[in-house]
Amino acid sequence: MQRLSCNTLVIGGGFFGAYLAFYTKSFSPSSRVVLVEKENEIMKRASYNNQARIHNGYHYPRSFVTALRSRDNFKRFTEEFKECVKKDFKKYYAVSRINSKVTSAQFRLFCERIKAPLKPAPGKIASLFNRDYVEEVFQVKEYAFDADLLRQQMRTKLTDSGVEVILGCKAVKIKKNSPLGVVVKSPKQLPNSLISAQKVFVCLYAETNELLSASGIPKLDLKQQMTETCIVEVPDELKNLGVTVMCGPFFSFMPFPPEKMHSFTHVRYTPHFTWYDKRAKRKNSEIFRSFIRDSAFIKMKKDASRLIPLIEKFKYKKSLWEIKTLLPVSDLDDGRPVLFKQNLSGVEGLNVVIGGKIDNIYDLCGRIAEIK
């Protein structure tokens, strides 16, 4: 068995794993930091297969802390990754009259509390909505990110900082020695290898428990959803804008820069089914591969067009399928915090990270800095 040693090993090359590797190396330039990713490129799964929304707090009126942190992180993310940010569209939030968990007055007050920019939508925009269903429409400040450009920028950051990136390399087992050892499979670069490290960060998102279970470490209490993000062409009247309807079983559409089209999601229909890792009989990777992908686009369009009739003209192009990982506490307030487990199960140096949304990365960095 070939061996490689480093100071820090990051497992998983999504945005959180890639940025964590970059941040760790920047924090300690003389250390050896290795990032392993099972795909042939970083940031090709959950970091790509999502709405591409850069949150600015509005989306979480029932989770004040999450919303406040989004506000704090929004400016930092859009400054650091300004080349990847799409700003040239208008974003609107509408509050439903029916089945909404907040009223327009409550939403206004919430935005005041978190100091998020908010103003009534112009009459031309408000007229696009069925006012029998929609109480009020607001113009907000919210952007999208281009996942392809973000990947390119992260690759540059990793290269320039000196992080060693090994692609096509899957971690299959953690050996709880001192130092820690991680068995990896990589037919092209490091077949049957053991990477030892003083610190290991598991950033595998939906596949976290798969590695922990294979290593004899108890599973974390994670909730999973099989999700569908539809990529659509929208009519001319909607091309330069995005809409989110609050706060309940509603929908959102907004520009999706890599495809030069729009993403379209629905609270009721985007999750196709839900399961809990501790009860699951199959690995999440197996569930993802075998899942029969029947699009819910027609149902989404039919429901959403009640509120915005022009949605009937949406043209379906394709779907992005992905497993979305949630902490069970999210059932209570819609919050999606970063999960950070230090020295997991008493194993010194073993850490697990699960990100909720992309700009939460700065919350993680703050916590990592505390343990340096």
257-282 pLDDT tens trace: 999 999 999 999 999 999 999 999 99
Q: CA 335 to CA 329: how far, in whole Å? A: 8
Which pLDDT score, from 0 to 100, does residue 332 have?
Answer: 45
Which pLDDT score, from 0 to 100, does residue 334 have?
Answer: 53
Tokens of 30: 């003389």
Which pLDDT score, from 0 to 100, does residue 191 have?
Answer: 61
Domains and CATH numbers, the chain: 1-52+146-218+336-371 (3.50.50.60), 87-145+223-326 (3.30.9.10)
Per-residue pLDDT of the chain (372 residues; tens, 9 = 90+): 688 999 999 999 999 999 999 999 999 999 999 999 999 999 999 999 999 999 999 988 888 888 998 999 999 999 999 999 999 999 999 999 999 999 999 999 999 999 999 999 999 999 999 999 999 999 999 999 999 999 999 999 999 999 999 999 999 999 998 889 999 987 665 567 899 999 999 999 999 999 999 999 999 999 999 999 999 999 999 999 999 999 999 999 999 999 999 999 999 999 999 999 999 999 999 999 999 999 999 999 999 999 999 999 999 999 999 999 998 665 444 555 789 999 999 999 999 999 878 988 998 988 888 776
Cα radius of gyration (the chain):
21
First to last CA, the chain: 31
Q: CA 250 to CA 241: how far, in whole Å? A: 17
Cβ atoms < 10 Å from Cβ of 308: 21
Q: Are β-strands 180-185 and 193-202 bridged in parallel, bridged antiparallel, or unpaired?
A: antiparallel
Tokens of 224: 């999973």
- Provide DSSP, 7-29: EEEEE--SHHHHHHHHHHHHHST
Question: Do 142 and 91 meet the contact criterion of CB atoms below 8 Å apart?
Answer: yes
